[in-house]
Structure formats: C-alpha cells, structure tokens
Amino acid sequence: MCELLGISSQRATQLTISLEALAAHSAPGKSNRDGWGAGFYQGNDVALFREPGAASDSALVQLLEAQGPSTTLAISHIRRATLGQVMLANTQPFVRELTGRTHLFAHNGHLPGIALNQKFSLDRFRPVGETDSEHAFCALMARMQGLWHNASAPPSIEDRLAVVTAYAKDLRELGPANFLYADGEVLFAHGHRRIQVASGKIEPPGLFLLSRQCCHEADRFEAAGLAVAQGYQEVVLIASVPLSDEPWRPLQEGEVVAVSLGRLVNSINPSIEQPTQGVI
C-alpha cells in the first residue's frame, strides 16, 4: 500500500531523513515504486514536487533532502498503483484551489465504487487523473466549499473538523481510507486500516503520530526526519509507519486529528464520539 507522511511545526523546518525513509519503501524489491510526491506550504500556496517513478531512484528527492524548502506544513506520498496508470496525473499529493488557498490531499487505501456513489459527488471539482484517491479529494473539496464561502474569514477549525469527520465516516464504508488533508493552516489526518507487515492483513492502525518539543533556546532539534535551527520548536509528524525508534502513537481506527503549528488542536475518536482538545 501507499506511504503517507505529514508534518506540522511551530517554526519552519525541512524534511530530511523522513523523505529518505519513505524513499526506502520504494527501493528495489519493494512494491511502492509507482510515484512519489511532496508538497511544502509557502503561505497559502504550495511548492509541489511529483514524479511518476520510484523515489529511491530520484535525483529530485536527493535535492529536496539537501535543499528542500523550509515550511511549517507539508505532505508527502509514496505510491503503489492499485487504480490508474503510472503517470504524473495519478501521482499524489493532489492540489486544488478554494477561495484563494491551495488545498493538499494524499490517500492510502482502495475505494471501489466511489465514482458511482452519490455521497461523493464532485460539484465543480473534477479529477485530472484516473485514481479513486483523486475522486475522493474532489468530493471532499465539494463538501468544503460551503464552509469556505468568505475568503477573508476562514471557517473555524471545529467546523472544518466536523466536515472532515463526517466525510471520513462515509469514506470508511468503501474501503481503507487513511488520508492527510491540509488547507494551509491545519493538517487533518484520518487513520483507518492498512496492510500490516506482521500479519499481512488489512487492519488498524493506518497511521502513527509523533509529537516532539524542544524547550530550550540552546537545543537543536534533530529527530525522525527533521533538522531545525537552535531555539524553541514544536513538531507533529504523522506517517503510515513509524520512521524512527521513538514512541509513535497509533491512531485509533477511524480517529481524525487536527494539527496546527506543531500542536494537536483536536482529535475525534469514533469509539468514544467525544473530541479531545489540546496537545499530546
């Protein structure tokens, strides 16, 4: 299955080891060699890099690891093709504009029948490629556009989270539905199910979360794919599998989290149906 990585930080930082760790999943002998992409927010826009080939073979990946743009919000994806040809149009993350902001989306899983399901109508948004993942993103944007009717006043994070949570619930009815979605301010993540290496079965967890703080001005933060200058820093990483030996927390099946500037803002777990606010 595909590999996802999202990062939210209080101060701008670079992806380094994490891109390398994801690329290792597309090395020879691995199955995820059908494309890779990374989107780095710069204000309301995104610097997007994608290739329809193996990340482990990419000179561009090596360049990004060494000189990639600094950012406080980024999403990366390594593709294993299950639907659609291996080509640029089917390579994630996908982007769409809404009220002057670039929205970014990456999905891991398989969603049979989504194109014929009335719950996932597209409105003005249309896929460029052939994947169920891009159709899912367009359907999410169709739901979001009702909230983002005023470009000068973004909807509350709670309202955005409510839409994402309802959407994720519908998406789980179709199949594995792990995804990362960002709107320039907030990173939303939904953990569901994925193929587990140990069992070979499709089961939870679908995503893992790591939260880190650097509390002293003299400290240098270097962990799990990050390298930032000295000073205070808060970072949240969300990935398909842990990328380091640190204590990554598995998201519960169906859990949706909202992260902004390196802090967990809100979490909704369908098993308890109550939001949990605050940092981890």
The 3-state DSSP class for residue 143 equals helix
The 3-state DSSP class for residue 216 equals coil
**Residue 280 confidence (pLDDT):** 34
**CATH code at position 191:** 3.60.20.10
- Number of continuous H segments (helices) and E segments (strands) in the chain: 4, 18
Does residue 131 surpass a pLDDT of 70? yes
pLDDT in tens, 146-192: 899 876 788 999 999 999 999 999 999 999 999 999 999 999 999 99
For residues 196, 136, 65 and 46, what is the CA-based torsion angle, rounded to 10 degrees?
-160
Q: Could you tell me the pTM of the whole model?
A: 0.89
At position 67, the amino acid (one-letter code) is Q
**Residue 175 confidence (pLDDT):** 92
Does residue 208 surpass a pLDDT of 90? yes
pLDDT in tens, 79-125: 765 766 788 999 999 999 999 999 999 999 889 999 999 999 998 99
**Residue 231 confidence (pLDDT):** 62
- Give the number of C-alpha atoms closer than 13 A to the C-alpha of residue 120, restricted to the C-beta side: 25
More reliable by pLDDT, 189 or 273? 189
pLDDT in tens, 89-100: 999 999 999 999
If one counts every other C-beta atom within 10 angstroms of the C-beta of residue 44, the result is 15
249 forms bridges with which residues in the sheet?
209
Instruction: Record the tokens describing residue 202, joined without a space.
Output: 């499709």
Instruction: Record the tokens describing residue 176, joined without a space.
Output: 């594995």
Q: Specify the range with the lowest mean pLDDT, choosing from 64-73, 161-170, 264-273.
A: 264-273
The 3-state DSSP class for residue 192 equals coil
pLDDT in tens, 8-30: 999 888 777 677 676 666 556 56
Domain count, the chain: 1
Does residue 50 surpass a pLDDT of 50? yes
pLDDT in tens, 219-257: 665 555 566 655 668 899 999 888 888 899 999 999 999
Residue span of the structural domain in which 227 resides: 3-277
At position 257, the amino acid (one-letter code) is V
